[in-house]
Structure 1
Amino acid sequence: MTQALHTPPRTAEAPPEADLAALAARHGLSVSGARPSLPQYVRQLWARRHFIAAFSTAKLTAQYSQAKLGQVWQVLTPLLNAAVYYLIFGKLMGTSRGVPDFVPFLVTGVFVWTFTQSSIMAGTRAISGNLGLVRALHFPRAALPISFCLQQLQQLLFSMAALVVILLCFGVPVAASWLLAVPALVLQFAFNAGVSLIVARLGAKTPDLAQLMPFVLRTWMYASGVMFSISHIMSKHTDAPSWLTAVLQANPAAVYIDLMRFALIDSFQGSQLPPHVWAIAAGWALLAGVGGFIYFWKAEETYGRG
């Protein structure tokens, strides 16, 4: 009897992993939080397109909900930035000399640059600043940085209404070339979304990146011809190497700014654009958009985890 009491019970051997995998597949089960395949991830993201649009609109509405002027700040903020740059660079530093229609030139640059700057800054905090949402709900995490880029696009469209008024007030006529602003904005949105996805992944692991990005973006702004004409400045420095001019003009932010100026301002001629500018703009959009999306997707299962 004592021997029977001390005899350990028989335990069934654990089934091999292959059998468990087959059992899970038979019942349609999958590993929780596992990264889906890239085509499946794209389908999941497309299925949540209404969430992306609604989330971006809600964030835009709430952005200035506590301010007395409310949504007026969507237009007033970039206009005030343009006024400050006009006083400092246009008047004090004289960058307006030799640039026709300098006010429309400057305001267009400020508005288009703000679109890129705000998209990247919002993307930096897209995951780290929304951990509660990421941990509570199951959805493709790329929806967050993309929705923030869409929010900034909506804000730019509000600003564009003010830009049209400024163009007309300074005698810039309505022209068929204004339609070129549409493909330029589409390419810029793809580029912004791709870069936002990249910094969203980096910011998810390194929250200090959000503190560093303002300095990086400010340096980028000064190299992008927001407040001055790159071609006009470089024509004064004939001793500068030719590759420097090519690099400055191929800068993606400068490319999208110049395309918008070319589309909207009749005095901004095609000779001020770098060669093959549309191919460069499409190349940056494809490289950043596709590359950033794949880079973000590769870490999909890590977002929101300690």
Structure 2
Amino acid sequence: MPTAAEPTGVTDPAVLAERYGLSKSSIRPPLGSYLRELWSRRQFVLSYATARTYAMYAGARLGSIWQVLTPLLNAAVYYLAFGVLLGTKNGIDNYVAFLLSGIFVFTFTQRCMTEGSRSLALNLSLIRTLHFPRATLPLAYVLNELNQMLVSLAILFVVVGFTDGPQWRWFLIAPAMVLQMMFNIGITLVFARIGTFVSDITQLLPFVTRTWLYASGIFFSLPYKLEQLHAPSWVVQVLAFNPISAYIDIVRRSLLEEHKRNQLPHAWTIAIVWSFVMLAAGFWYFWRAEDRYGRG
């Protein structure tokens, strides 16, 4: 019923919304406001990531022990296939730690991409029911994978500690992980948007990441292998621009003394540039479609 102060005969919703200061709930806010609102939801992101981690292993008999067993079993399979059968361990000291560091770093980014590409599609009911920054969902998936990565790093520290002994350079792992985390957030936001509107990307991603896996120097040292093949020096320079190769290299530098003679050129610089560029580009790309997520 109209009040005494409200003119009768006005039925246009747009006119009424403007009169009473209402706005569309799905409108895309300015980027600065969006980031502030996203920060205010940080507790939700953390809680959602924790719940996902628990749910992943809730139905398994061994429960969260699989957080330790899964990376170890993956490493064992790759060690047998590449290190033993294909002989890629030849010429590499402490090949177990070398292999584990490569697998763990790559898997961190790989799973962020693949899980993030489904983060919005799997939560459409939540998106259509509540108003909140949609970036909270892919960010929660990245935090979930970070939890697994920290468990993997603990395993890696134990392995390197037994073989090489603790070293002060281990502290460089912290900035290396921060840089990879920044990169992972950016690339996850990119694939979260793509996966929302192109559902087939989830079928294509395994082939993309598998190709990336073999080109990133995980099972062998890129400089050492290319030196054996007498490849031109510029080939090493080009391959060094692969972001995953850079993150793997700076982690190996932090852990393995013997890796210094086979390290990639300018790996820290490349890792830093990739991190900041991907983080900024990923946020901008995801935010541009904020008002379209959840529509039929």
TM-score by length of 1: 0.90
Pairing of 1:32-43 with structure 2 (within 5 A): 32-43=25-36
| Code of the aligned partner of 2:233 | S
List alignment gaps of at least 5 residues for structure 1: 1-10
Deviation at 1:27, TM superposition (A): 4.9
Deviation at 1:298, TM superposition (A): 0.1
Q: How far, CA to CA, are the matches of 1:107 and 1:55 in structure 2?
A: 29
Deviation at 1:272, TM superposition (A): 2.8
Q: How far, CA to CA, are the matches of 1:252 and 1:290 in structure 2?
A: 16
Tell me what 1:289 maps to.
279
Count of residue correspondences: 288
Pairing of 1:143-292 with structure 2 (within 5 A): 143-169=136-162, 171-238=163-230, 240-269=231-260, 271-292=261-282
Q: How far, CA to CA, are the matches of 2:70 and 2:113 in structure 1?
A: 18
1:267 aligned counterpart, secondary structure: helix
| Code of the aligned partner of 1:56 | A
User: Pick from 95, 99, 122: which aligns with 2:92?
Assistant: 99
1:90 aligned counterpart, secondary structure: helix
Alignment RMSD (CA, Å): 1.9
Tell me what 1:116 maps to.
109
Q: How far, CA to CA, are the matches of 2:93 and 2:79 in structure 1?
A: 14
List alignment gaps of at least 5 residues for structure 2: 1-7
TM-score by length of 2: 0.92
Deviation at 1:237, TM superposition (A): 1.5
Deviation at 1:90, TM superposition (A): 0.6
1:295 aligned counterpart, secondary structure: helix
Structure label with greater radius of gyration = 1
Deviation at 1:128, TM superposition (A): 1.0
Deviation at 1:28, TM superposition (A): 4.4
Q: How far, CA to CA, are the matches of 1:13 and 1:116 in structure 2?
A: 55
